[in-house]
Amino acid sequence: MPKSLRTIFLRVNYPHHDYIDLYLQHGEQNIGHFEGGDERTFASRPVDHRTFLAPVKIPMGEVVAVYLRIETQGPMMLPLELITQVEAVKEESVLLLFVGLYFGVIIIMLVYNAFIYTSLRDSTYLYYLMYMAAVAAQLFTLFGFGFQYLWKNPEIL
């Protein structure tokens, strides 16, 4: 009788690496290869997620070797986690709640200050609008949403 497979996910919880390659080996047999990174298209990722999330299927009671190759021009941060799908969905939903609240407040502040700027024509409010928009754009990118939703194909940049 074949052994049942247990699927867990390996997450590299930092979305700004250029190239990520994950190799899985069971004994002498290669059982998987996944690619990711922001220099590859978003569609090349094994899971449609803002960070690198790859399924690792492990036969019950067996050992699987995991090899991870990361190449990047920026900071080499490796917050690695092995999580279940339920944990990943739960953590992502909590994060999305707080990120949505944050960006909702930022949008309200942008609209309010744009109204004040159009009423008073004070350049200070225009500078403040540009500053808030820049900070929001930076955080949108740092969380990995820019690559997920806006520029999925690095060749067009």
Task: Report the SS3 class of residue 116.
Answer: helix
Total structural domains in the chain?
2
pLDDT category at 1 given cuts 50, 70, 90 is very low
Are 35 and 62 found together in one domain?
yes
Domain range spanning residue 99? Answer: 88-152
Are 78 and 99 found together in one domain?
no
Q: Average pLDDT, whole number, for the chain? A: 91
Are 130 and 111 found together in one domain?
yes
pLDDT category at 152 given cuts 50, 70, 90 is confident
Taking the C-alpha atoms of residue 11 and residue 135, their distance in angstroms, rounded to an integer, is 26
Sign of CA dihedral 53, 156, 149, 99: positive
pTM: 0.83
